[in-house]
Structure formats: structure tokens, C-alpha cells
Amino acid sequence: MAGRYWYGTNFYAYGVGKSTELAVTNYNAGGPAAKNFATGIGFKSSPQFLKESHEELELKLTVGQMMVMNHRGKGLGSFSYSHMSFRTPGTGTRLTAGGFYGTNELLLKNTGNFLCSFEQPLFHHRMQIVGEWMRGKYDFGFFIPGVSFHLPKNQVIVVAYKIANHPQNGENGLVLEYGLTF
């Protein structure tokens, strides 16, 4: 896709239990119209393990599933993912690795691959250097490094830059994110 474009993804989650969220996500709303503009309904669960014996690790297993409805006539699909994460002792860096599988309705082809991320806290966790990577040749195949700022009153702002794994994945570009927890 050449030229300017804007895509927004809106995520709404409601916590249930200790480590589970129910979620509604609108993917790729914007202009020009995306073939994979879709809404997903699902959940994410991230229980912490070894909390009593190794609390400093914050070892977590995350599992998520979204039923996806494409708004461009492609029908119903799914997006599933799972990953493990932990914090390194001393630095508090969170490292994450896992995998995903999604269908054509969201990813523009049926595909699965590897994902990973990192979060390096700075300034008493008010600022973090962050990055995530979803491997492969498909619409979400990008490396996205950036900085997140945790503001008072449960707000976060992320400024990042997405770099395509392959030219067919799309254009590189600025990523801006605003989050509010209430």
C-alpha cells in the first residue's frame, strides 16, 4: 500500500477472576478501507506460576482466543495465541515468547508463527523501552520498537515505529497508542 494511511485498533476488556479478561477488539478501522477490518470477541488469561517460590520472576502463561467477524464480507474466523513470559531478576526486564494462529478474515491468510516481546522498565516503571515482533509474511508481520509512558490515573501512552518483516506485509510507520484502565 503506497501513500498515507491510518488504521486504528480499539480494545475493550473486562476483568473476570484473578487473571482473565473478556475482550472486544476492533481491528484495522480506518482509511483507506482495509480488507481485514474486523471485530473480535474473546478472552485472555494470564495466570502467574511459582508465585510463592520465585515471585520476582512473575512467570506467566498467557492463552488467548478471539472469534473474528470480518466487516468486508469475508465471514467468521479466529485468532489464537499463547506465550510464556518472565521478568529477569535485577533488571526487571520482561521477556515473552510464544506462538499464534489466525485466519484469513483477520491476517489476510491462514497462518501461524512465532511471536516475542520485551519490556525494559526505566524511572520506577513510569517509562519502558518496549518491542514486539510477530514473525512471518502476512498483514501483522512487523517488529515494533518503542517507548511507553505510564501516566497517573491508570493511563499509558506508547510511541513506536513498525518495521515490516517483508515488503508485502505493508508500509513501515508510526504507531501511537493510548490506554486507560478504569
- In terms of residue numbers, what domain contains 94? 6-50+58-180
Backbone angles phi, psi at 81, to 5 degrees: -150, 160
The number of distinct structural domains making up the chain is: 1
Domain-embedded: residue 1 = no
Domain-embedded: residue 118 = yes
pLDDT of the residue at 71: 95
| pLDDT digit string, tens, across residues 12-64 | 999 998 899 999 999 988 888 889 999 999 999 999 998 888 888 999 999 99
In the predicted structure, residue 4 carries a pLDDT above the cut 80: no
pLDDT of the residue at 95: 98
In angstroms, the CA 37 to CA 69 distance is 9
Average pLDDT over residues 69-80: 96
Segment holding 86, helix H or strand E: strand 75-87
In the predicted structure, residue 3 carries a pLDDT above the cut 70: no
| pLDDT digit string, tens, across residues 111-168 | 999 999 999 999 877 899 999 999 999 889 999 999 999 998 889 999 999 999 999 9
Domain-embedded: residue 106 = yes
In angstroms, the CA 102 to CA 156 distance is 27
Q: What is the pTM for the complete model shown?
A: 0.88
C-alpha cell at 101: 494462529
In angstroms, the CA 38 to CA 46 distance is 24
Where does residue 78 fall: left (phi above 0), alpha (psi -120 to 50 degrees), or beta otherwise?
beta
pLDDT of the residue at 1: 46
Domain-embedded: residue 29 = yes
